[in-house]
Amino acid sequence: MEVAGGAGADVHVPYILVHSDREIRRLSHQADIINPITRRILLSAGMSPGMRVLDVGCGAGDVTFLVSEMVGSEGQVIGADRAPAALAAAERRAAAHPIQNVSFREGDPAALSFDRPFDAV
Ligand SMILES: C[S@@+](CC[C@H](N)C(=O)[O-])C[C@H]1O[C@@H](n2cnc3c(N)ncnc32)[C@H](O)[C@@H]1O
């Protein structure tokens, strides 16, 4: 089992709730409930149309899709998660809607490379 280490350690704590269908539904339900709060936080943090955003630990993409709406067609959001099951759910949801400005990457963003910098993470 991997455990959290001190500052600078190679930390990989598994997602304790596991990405079952049930957990993905729970996250989605939770996201619906707190959507107005999340939106307000993102707005006050400066989220605005045209931004390029990285959503770290995107899970099934609830916040990714909210950000996608906020940055609009001129913006872009990349959701990154190291859990393949969560990303598969996010990809399925993206495919079910005509969303052009969203893409997903598997992995820890600290270990991934990106072609351009982000306006917000
Ligand atoms: C509670 S879920 C949140 C999902 C989503 N942001 C939401 O609001 O519904 C946390 C997610 O972060 C991911 N995660 C945690 N640490 C990570 C890391 N270092 N790199 C990539 N993903 C990570 C987990 O796999 C999990 O899917």
Nearest CA to ligand 1 atom 13: 57
Residue 24 pLDDT: 85
Rounded to the nearest angstrom, the distance between the alpha carbon of 58 and the centre of ligand 1 is 5
Rounded to the nearest angstrom, the distance between the alpha carbon of 14 and the centre of ligand 1 is 10
**Structural domain 21-111, CATH architecture:** 3-Layer(aba) Sandwich (3.40)
DSSP the chain: -----STTS------TT---HHHHHHHHHHHHHHHHHHHHHHHHTT--TT-EEEEET-TTSHHHHHHHHHH-TT-EEEEEES-HHHHHHHHHHHHTTT--SEEEEES-GGG---SS--SB-
**Model pTM score:** 0.85
pLDDT in tens, the chain (121 residues): 344 444 444 567 677 667 788 888 888 899 899 999 999 999 999 999 999 999 999 999 999 999 999 999 999 999 999 999 889 999 999 999 888 999 999 999 999 999 999 999 9
**How do the domains of the chain map onto residue ranges?**
21-111
